């Protein structure tokens, strides 16, 4: 466990700024906490229920096979929420860091598309778990890389409804309100093979991440020593993202910097000399932490997405 004296050094913004200004090769590993300030639920921990379903249990191929209508309604709701959310200052800060530091690479576990909408340079961004706005066939190779239809089809319209009475739960989210059965024939089907269902282009539990993307990340890490790793909005509990911070560490050179709403005693205890930990809202902390390199972040108005 870090002593009070060392804890002060680990949380020193001036010391962090000194290190940042000397850092050119920077890796960021981002999790759901990054988008929490944009109003998106993390669906993890005690709050990880959706209509009394464990959200993790819905994010599997087996759940989709058993009840594609229910799983699609869950993802249609997440698509709607992500479309109505806006990137927060942390997204813009990371995008600006990418522009100011060509040696910066961001690995994100988030599927909400907010990095892209903050105009993060695409060649410096890897979406580890895919995107809610990519659609693919359950069987053949067909893909639609960017589909923002909301609702995606009439049967999923309840997921895009506004709440008529803010004092009560949205009917879709109220477990006491029965859901109308959605037949497979009412769900989106592949336009190529015509017979199979479309599914969200996200990586479900039990599925492999994209091998080409993983190879690209490994090549980037191996190319040159990494000066700094930013671990933002995640407890690093999901692999392979969990291992990237240590994978990129070069002894005596790399600072691992944790920015999260809560940093556990175990996390503090794992920190080494030269590491940093900043506890709080990433949307407030990151712009301040990165200011010496990126200047003031202007994220109120959404920037145009790169063409």
Structural domain that includes position 195: 41-84+130-202
Same domain (yes/no): 284, 232: yes
Identify the domain boundary among 202, 231, 253.
202
pLDDT at 306 over 50: no
pLDDT at 238: 56
Residue 307: what pLDDT? 37
* pLDDT for 52: 85
174 and 136 in a common domain: yes
Residue 146's CB is within 10 A of a number of other CB atoms, namely: 13
Q: How confident is the model at residue 304 (pLDDT cuts 50, 70, 90)?
A: very low
Query: Residue 302: is its pLDDT beyond 70?
Result: no
CA dihedral 44, 47, 51, 53 (to 10 degrees): 40
Task: Give the CATH number of the domain where residue 18 resides.
Answer: 3.40.50.1220
pLDDT of residue 241: 64
Which of 143, 174, 202 lies at the terminal end of a domain, its last residue? 202
Q: What is the Cβ-side half-sphere exposure of residue 240, based on CA atoms within 13 angstroms?
A: 19
Q: State whether 48 and 155 are in the same domain.
A: yes
In this prediction, residues 60-82 reach a mean pLDDT of 97
Residue scoring higher pLDDT (101 or 268): 101
Overall residue count recorded for the chain in this entry: 307
**236-278: per-residue pLDDT in tens?**
555 666 689 889 999 889 999 999 999 988 889 889 999 999 9
Mean pLDDT in residue range 128-139: 97
Instruction: Quote the mean pLDDT of the chain.
Output: 91
Asked if residue 137 belongs to a known ligand binding site, the reply is yes
58 and 123: one domain? no
Q: How many domains does the chain have?
A: 2
What's the mean pLDDT in 50-54? 88
- Asked which of 202, 237, 255 is the last residue of a domain, the reply is 202
32 with 174, same domain? no
Sign of torsion over alpha carbons 165, 168, 173, 179: negative
pLDDT band at 22 (very low <50, low <70, confident <90, very high): very high
Task: Using the predicted structure, report yes or no on whether residue 300 has a pLDDT greater than 60.
Answer: no
> Would you place residue 46 in the very low, low, confident or very high pLDDT band (cuts 50, 70, 90)?
very low
Evaluate if residue 283 carries a pLDDT over 80.
yes
Q: Is 153 annotated as a binding residue?
A: no
Residue 140 labelled as part of a binding site? yes
| Domain CATH for 171 | 3.30.1600.10
Question: In the annotation, is 91 catalytic?
Answer: no
91, 115, 120, 129: which one is catalytic? 129
Could you tell me which of 303, 265, 239, 2 has the C-alpha nearest to residue 107? 239
pLDDT in tens, 152-199: 999 999 999 988 887 888 888 888 889 999 999 999 999 999 999 999
Please tell me whether residues 291 and 150 are part of one structural domain: no
Ordered DSSP codes for the chain = ---HHHHHHHT-HHHHHHHHHT--SEEEEE-THHHHTTT-----GGG-EETTEEHHHHSSHHHHHH-HHHHHHHHHHHHHHHHH----HHHHHHHHHHHH-TTEEEEE---SSHHHHTT--GGGEEETTEEEEEEEESSSS-EES----SSSSGGGGGGG---S-TTS--GGG-TTSPPPP--GGGS-B-TTTSSSBEEEEEPPTTPPPPHHHHHHHHHHHHHS--SEEEEES----STTHHHHHHHT--TTTPEEEEEES---HHHHHH--TT-EEEES-HHHHHHHHHHHHH-S---SSPPPPP-
pLDDT of residue 121: 98
């Amino acid at each position: 466990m870090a002593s009070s004296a060392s804890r002060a050094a680990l949380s020193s913004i001036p010391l962090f700024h000194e290190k940042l200004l000397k850092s050119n090769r920077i890796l960021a590993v981002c999790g759901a906490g990054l988008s929490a300030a944009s109003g998106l639920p993390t669906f993890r921990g005690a709050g990880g229920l959706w209509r009394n379903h464990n959200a993790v249990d819905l994010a599997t191929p087996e759940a989709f096979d058993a009840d594609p209508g229910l799983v699609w309604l869950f993802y249609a709701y997440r698509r709607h929420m992500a479309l109505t959310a806006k990137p927060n200052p942390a997204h813009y800060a990371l995008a600006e860091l990418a522009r100011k530091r060509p040696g910066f690479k961001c690995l994100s576990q988030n599927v909400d598309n907010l990095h892209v909408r903050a105009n993060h340079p695409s060649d410096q961004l890897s979406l580890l778990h895919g995107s809610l706005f990519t659609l693919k066939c359950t069987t053949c190779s067909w893909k639609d890389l960017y589909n923002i239809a909301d609702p995606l089809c009439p049967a999923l319209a309840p997921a895009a409804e506004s709440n008529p009475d803010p004092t009560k739960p949205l009917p879709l989210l109220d477990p006491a309100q029965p859901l109308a059965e959605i037949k497979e024939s009412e769900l989106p089907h592949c336009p190529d093979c015509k017979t199979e269902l479309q599914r969200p282009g996200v990586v479900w539990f039990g599925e492999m991440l994209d091998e080409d993307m993983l190879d690209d990340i490994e090549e980037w890490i191996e190319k040159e020593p990494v000066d700094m790793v930013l671990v933002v909005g995640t407890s690093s509990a999901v692999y392979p993202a969990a291992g990237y911070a240590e994978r990129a560490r070069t002894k005596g050179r790399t600072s691992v910097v944790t920015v999260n709403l809560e940093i556990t005693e175990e996390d503090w205890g794992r920190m080494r000399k030269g590491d940093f930990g900043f506890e709080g809202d990433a949307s407030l902390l990151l712009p301040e932490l990165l200011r010496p390199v990126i200047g003031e972040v202007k994220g109120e108005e959404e920037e145009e997405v790169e063409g």
